[in-house]
């Protein structure tokens, strides 16, 4: 109630206007502000809250949209911003969220970090076209084609990524494998069905 008093005292007293000693106008103005505040608070009570199950589905869908934007290159956040966003989504999940839904957000977190690594290491690994193809497929939401394309790239780079190989190629292959494993563990999420 103190908040309403703080917010409404200024218009009721009208400190910038000339001194007016009209009691009926003051009471009329005060009553209008008070009734408007009460009506606003009452209307907020009438709006039903969003059901927890729907809130959980919205968080999952938003994480998938962010992941598709990241894969398509329409959004390029730093790793820290990506992690913060996904951790915020995990915190925002309601208590009734299923373990599958929580796991989907963890999968999205790891896949997003792997996408950033693939994009950063594509040139040093000499796989700019391959990385572009995999990320484009991932942005469209076809897990089977993404897995096949990622596996083909890793298999082709395996001789260069072996022991004593280039570090950039090894990291690139590890990021591709992470994307491949994320798609294998949760294909319905990446296809937008889960």
Q: What is the pLDDT of residues 54-83, one digit of tens each?
A: 999 999 999 999 999 999 999 999 999 999
- Using only C-alpha atoms, the chain has a radius of gyration, in whole angstroms, of 27
Q: Looking at residue 161, what is its pLDDT?
A: 67
Residue 48's pLDDT is: 87
Instruction: Tell me the per-residue pLDDT of 29-62, one tens digit each, with 9 for 90 and over.
Output: 889 988 988 998 888 888 888 999 999 999 999 9
pLDDT of residue 29: 86
The predicted structure's pLDDT at residue 105:
95
Q: What is the mean pLDDT of the chain?
A: 87
Confidence tier at 166 by pLDDT (50, 70, 90): confident
> Is pLDDT above 90 for 13?
no
Q: Give the pLDDT of residue 81.
A: 95
Residue 159: name the closest of 151, 148, 168, 170 by CA: 170
pLDDT for the residue 2: 63
Tell me how far apart the alpha carbons of residues 78 and 44 are, in angstroms, rounded to a whole number: 38
3 has a pLDDT exceeding 80: no
The confidence score (pLDDT) of residue 74 equals 92
Residue 17 predicted with pLDDT over 70: no
Please, are residues 113 and 68 in contact by the beta-carbon 8 Å criterion? no
pLDDT at 92: 94
pLDDT (0 to 100) of residue 169:
85
* pLDDT value for 43: 87
Residue 157 pLDDT greater than 80, yes or no: yes
Q: Which pLDDT does position 190 carry in this prediction?
A: 86
Q: Tokens for 105, please give them.
A: 């957000």
DSSP 36-76: HHHHHHHHHHHSPPPPHHHHHHHHHHHHHHHHHHHHHTS--
Highest mean pLDDT among 21-25, 84-88, 125-129, 184-188: 84-88
């Amino acid at each position: 109630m103190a908040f309403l008093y703080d917010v409404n005292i200024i218009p009721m007293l009208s400190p910038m206007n000339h001194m007016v000693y009209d009691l009926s106008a003051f009471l009329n103005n005060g009553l209008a502000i008070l009734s408007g505040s009460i009506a606003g608070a009452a209307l907020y009570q009438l709006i039903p809250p969003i059901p927890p199950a729907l809130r959980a589905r919205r968080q999952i869908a938003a994480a998938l949209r962010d992941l598709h934007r990241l894969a398509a290159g329409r959004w390029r956040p730093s790793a820290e911003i990506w992690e913060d966003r996904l951790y915020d989504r995990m915190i925002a999940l309601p208590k009734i969220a299923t373990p599958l839904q929580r796991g989907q957000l963890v999968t999205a977190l790891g896949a997003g970090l792997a996408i950033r690594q693939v994009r950063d290491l594509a040139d040093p690994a000499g796989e700019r076209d391959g990385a572009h193809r995999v990320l484009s497929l991932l942005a469209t939401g076809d897990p089977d084609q993404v897995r096949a394309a990622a596996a083909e790239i890793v298999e082709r780079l395996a001789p260069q990524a072996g022991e004593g190989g280039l570090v950039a190629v090894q990291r690139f292959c590890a990021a591709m494998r992470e994307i491949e494993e994320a798609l294998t563990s949760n294909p319905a999420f990446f296809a937008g069905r889960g």
